[in-house]
Structure 1
Amino acid sequence: MNLTVTPGSAYAVIALEGRLTAPGVPRLRSAISELVDAGSIRVVIDLSGTEFVDSSGLGALIGGLKSARLAGGDLRIAGVTEPVRRVLKLTNLDRVLREYDTVEAAFDER
């Protein structure tokens, strides 16, 4: 899994490519934690390049959501691919993680 962090003034973006599985989870958790600790409490996870997510990956997303919300922010997901969407629906996490078509739409305040 490749992970790219792009800090921003309105929100930070973490773009994932590949498979979000147990080996990549520590990197994702660390990236979210570093952003939240640095004051970037609004985080978008760009899943447009993610082809699969397993239970540990889902756990990392939920953990990140909790961290961001405890800090007064939020974590949202964008660009969800169909295989990932199926897993989210199967686990009912599509009701917990707010999905947006694009990264820009995730924190569009209009």
Structure 2
Amino acid sequence: MSMKEHSLNGFKAISLAGDFDAHTVEQTRTEFANLVEADSENLVFDMADVTFIDSSGIGALVFLFKRLSVEKRTMCLVGLSGQPARLISLLRIDQVIETHDSMSHFLKQSDKQFTQPATVGS
């Protein structure tokens, strides 16, 4: 999996590509920790090029979401399709983490503030 970061309308955009599974979660653990510790921006994950996600990838996203919520920050997922979209919908992650069909849809909405972070677990 590849991961690229850039700033976008006051948000930090992270583009992911490839499989987001147990193997690649290990590779991204440090980068995800840095996103929480080094920055204060809300995050937008561009998932358009993610071809597969497993429970480890889902767990990494939920863990990151919870850490950001503690800091009064949030994140959203854009461009989900195929297997990743089906799994995120099946697990109802999309009811907790804001999603957008595409980056262009997100950008049209970005003049509005992110919704308040939802609480996941206790």
Contact 2:14–2:44 (8 Å) recurs in 1: yes
Alpha-carbon RMSD: 1.9
Q: Which residue of 1 aligns with 2:29?
A: 29
Partner residue of 2:18?
18
CA displacement, residues 61-94 of structure 1 (integer Å, 9 cap, x when unaligned): 0011111111111011011112211111221222
Correspondence for 1:108 among 107, 110, 114: 110
Instruction: Determine the structure 2 residue equivalent to 1:95.
Output: 95
Report the alpha carbon displacement of residue 37 of structure 1 after superposing the two structures with TM.
1.1
Name the CA distance, whole Å, in 1 between partners of 2:111 and 2:61.
23
Unaligned runs of 5+ in 2: 113-122
Given the superposition, is the C-alpha separation of residues 47 and 57 from structure 1 closer, same or farther in structure 2, using an over 3 Å criterion? same
Query: Relative to structure 1, is the Cα distance of residues 46 and 63 closer, same or farther in structure 2, using a 3 angstrom cutoff?
Result: same
Q: TM-score, normalised by structure 2?
A: 0.79
What is the number of residues matched between the two proteins?
A: 110
CA drift of 1:18 comes to 0.6
Cα distance between partner residues in 2 of 1:27 and 1:73: 23
Structure (1 or 2) with the larger CA radius of gyration: 2
Identical counterparts, % of pairs: 25
CA separation in 2, counterparts of 1:7 and 1:38? 14
CA contact (8 A) 1:14 1:46 kept: yes
* Partner Cα distance (1:78, 1:89) in 2: 13
- Give the Cα–Cα distance (whole angstroms) in 2 for the partners of residues 97 and 33 of structure 1: 18
Q: Give, in angstroms, the shift of residue 3 of structure 1.
A: 1.2
Q: For residues 102 and 39 of structure 1, what CA distance do their matches in structure 2 show?
A: 24
SS at match of 2:13: strand
What are structure 1's unaligned runs of at least 5 residues? Answer: none
Q: Is the 8 A contact 2:9 2:110 kept in 1?
A: no
Structure 1 stretches of 4+ with a deviation exceeding 3 A read none
